[in-house]
Amino acid sequence: MTEQTSAHPATEAPRGDLGRRLAARRAQLGLTRRQTAARADMAVGYLRYLEEHPGAAPGTGALIRLAEVLETTVTELTGGAVDLPPGPGRAVREARFTELEPGECRALLGSHGVGRLAVPTDTGPVIVPVNYSVVDGAIVFRTALGATPSLAAGQDVAFEVDRIDDAFSQGWSVLIRGHARTVTDQRERQRFTEQAYSAPWAGGARDLWVRIEAHTVTGRRIRA
C-alpha cells in the first residue's frame, strides 16, 4: 500500500494517546505522515505504527526526533503536560512582540476550538471555556439554559482565544469584544447546527445558541 502524500495532513484515525497527539500536531503544522517520517529520519511504516497502535512505546531517541520535527516537546507528545497550565517555560531573551492585523486575527479565530468567555454575573465577572465556531464572521456557541455561558445573552462580553507554544516560548492571543444575543430564529439555529465545528465537550442537552457580534477585534503575537 502506498503512503498518501497529498497536502491534506492526516485522514487516519490514530487510536493511542501518543498516536492522537502525533497526528494532531503534524496536522497543525500541515505535515503529511511521509514528510514527518523523513524529517525524523524514520521509516514511514514505523510512524504509522506509532500513530495507529495504542500500545506503541518508542525509544527516547525517536521521541526526541519527533518532538523536534513537530516543534514541540517530548512531555507534550507523551501527555505529561495535560494537567499543567500553558506557558510554564521561560521567556526567550530577545522576544518580539507584535500587534496582529484584523485579518490575521479573524484567520486565527477561524481555526475554531475552545475559547474563553468573560461574562458578568450577580456575584462578579466569570470566565468560562466554551467550544465555539465562527459562522458568518460571528462567534457562536451552544450551551444550556441557566448554564454560566448562557448568562452572556443580552450582555456586552469579551471572548479570547490563544495558542501557547512552550517548546519555543512563543504564541498568540486574539480578543473579541462584542454584544451577545440568544439565537431564536429557527433557520439560523439550524444553520449553526449544520456548520458548527464540533459539539460541546461538556455533552448533555445544550440546545441554546448564543451569537457574539464583534465590536472590536485585537490580537498580539510574541516570538523569538
pLDDT at 8: 40
Phi, psi of 212 (to 5 degrees): -110, 115
Q: In this structure, are 190 and 131 located in the same domain?
A: yes
More confidently predicted of 97 and 68: 68
CATH number at residue 27: 1.10.260.40
pLDDT at 216: 93
Q: In this structure, are 111 and 207 located in the same domain?
A: yes
The span from the CA of 90 to the CA of 184, in Å, is 47
The answer as to whether 206 is a domain residue is yes
pLDDT at 77: 86
Q: Read off the pLDDT of each residue in 56-70 and give the average, rounded to a whole number.
A: 90
Q: Read off the pLDDT of each residue in 120-148 and give the average, rounded to a whole number.
A: 89
Q: Read off the pLDDT of each residue in 15-29 and give the average, rounded to a whole number.
A: 83
- In which band, very low, low, confident or very high, does the pLDDT at 192 lie, cut at 50, 70 and 90? confident
pLDDT at 210: 93
Mean pLDDT rounded to a whole number for the chain = 82
pLDDT at 9: 44
Q: How many structural domains are present in the chain?
A: 2
The span from the CA of 209 to the CA of 117, in Å, is 14
Q: In this structure, are 60 and 103 located in the same domain?
A: no
DSSP 99-165: EPPHHHHHHHHTT-EEEEEEE--TTS-EEEEEEEEEETTEEEEEE-TTSGGGGGTTSEEEEEEEEEE
164's grid cell: 501557547
Q: In this structure, are 114 and 59 located in the same domain?
A: no
**Lowest mean pLDDT, pick from 123-137, 183-197, 206-220:** 183-197
Q: In this structure, are 102 and 181 located in the same domain?
A: yes
pTM of the model: 0.63
Percent of the chain residues past pLDDT 90, beyond the cut: 37
The span from the CA of 219 to the CA of 224, in Å, is 17
Domain that holds residue 202: 96-223
The answer as to whether 1 is a domain residue is no
Q: Which residues pair with 98 in a beta bridge?
A: 221
Q: In this structure, are 22 and 108 located in the same domain?
A: no
The answer as to whether 202 is a domain residue is yes
The span from the CA of 92 to the CA of 87, in Å, is 12
